[in-house]
Structure 1
Amino acid sequence: MSYAAIHPDWDKPRSNMVDGYSLEMTAKEMDGLREAAPLIRPGTQIAVTFLPGEEMDQRVEAAKLVRDLGFEPIVHLSARRLGSEAILDDYLRRITTEAGVKRVFIIAGDPPQAEGPYENSLQIIQTGLLEKHGIEIVGLGGHPEGHPNVSKPDLWVWMEQKIAAVRERGLTPLIVTQFAFDDDAILNWLKEMRERGIDAPVRIGVPGPAGIKRLLGFAKRCGVGASASVMKKYGISLTNLIGSAGPDKLVNSLAAGMNDAEHGRVRLHFYPFGNLKATAEWINKYADKH
Structure 2
Amino acid sequence: MTGKDVPGLIEAKDSIPAGTKINVTFLGNEDLDMRVAAAKAVKELGFVPVPHISARRLQSQGQLEEFLERLQEVGATEHVFAVGGDPAKPEGPYPDSLSVIRSGILQKYGVREVSIAGYPEGHPDISDDVLWRHLEDKSAALKEQGLDAVILTQFAFDTEPVMAWIREVRAKGIDTQIRIGTPGPAGVKRLLAFARRFGVGANAMIVKKYGFSLTNLMGTAGPDRFVTDLAALLAEEPTSGRVGLHFYTFGGLLATSNWAREFTAAQS
Which sits farther off after the overlay, 267-276 or 146-155?
Answer: 146-155
The TM-score normalised by the length of structure 2 is 0.97
In structure 1, what residue type is equivalent to 2:21? Answer: Q
Between the two structures, name the one with larger relative contact order (CA 8 Å, sep ≥ 6).
1
Conserved in 2, the CA contact under 8 Å of 1:29 and 1:274? no
Structure with higher helix content: 2
- What is the aligned-residue identity percentage? 50
DSSP 3-state at the match of 2:69: helix
> Mapping of 1:39-188 within 5 angstroms?
39-188=15-164
Shift of 1:227: 1.0
DSSP 3-state at the match of 2:173: coil
In structure 2, what residue type is equivalent to 1:26? Answer: T
In structure 2, what residue type is equivalent to 1:92? Answer: L
Unaligned ranges ≥5, structure 2: none
DSSP 3-state at the match of 1:99: coil
Conserved in 2, the CA contact under 8 Å of 1:138 and 1:174? yes
Render the CA deviation track for 1:118-171: whole Å, top value 9, x for unaligned: 110011011111011110000000001111122222211110001111111111
Looking at structure 1, the residues matched to 127 and 145 of structure 2 have their Cα atoms a distance apart, in angstroms, of 27
Looking at structure 2, the residues matched to 48 and 100 of structure 1 have their Cα atoms a distance apart, in angstroms, of 10
Looking at structure 2, the residues matched to 34 and 251 of structure 1 have their Cα atoms a distance apart, in angstroms, of 26
CA RMSD of aligned residues (A): 1.1
> Mapping of 1:165-244 within 5 angstroms?
165-244=141-220
Unaligned ranges ≥5, structure 1: 1-24
DSSP 3-state at the match of 2:33: helix
Looking at structure 2, the residues matched to 111 and 153 of structure 1 have their Cα atoms a distance apart, in angstroms, of 21
Conserved in 2, the CA contact under 8 Å of 1:63 and 1:75? yes
Shift of 1:63: 0.3
DSSP 3-state at the match of 2:4: coil
Conserved in 2, the CA contact under 8 Å of 1:60 and 1:99? no
Looking at structure 1, the residues matched to 20 and 41 of structure 2 have their Cα atoms a distance apart, in angstroms, of 13
Q: How many residues matched?
A: 266
In structure 2, what residue type is equivalent to 1:129? Answer: I
Other-structure match for 1:264: 241
The TM-score normalised by the length of structure 1 is 0.89
Conserved in 2, the CA contact under 8 Å of 1:50 and 1:78? yes
Segments of 4+ moved more than 6 angstroms: none
Out of 256, 261, 264, the residue aligned to residue 284 of structure 1 is 261
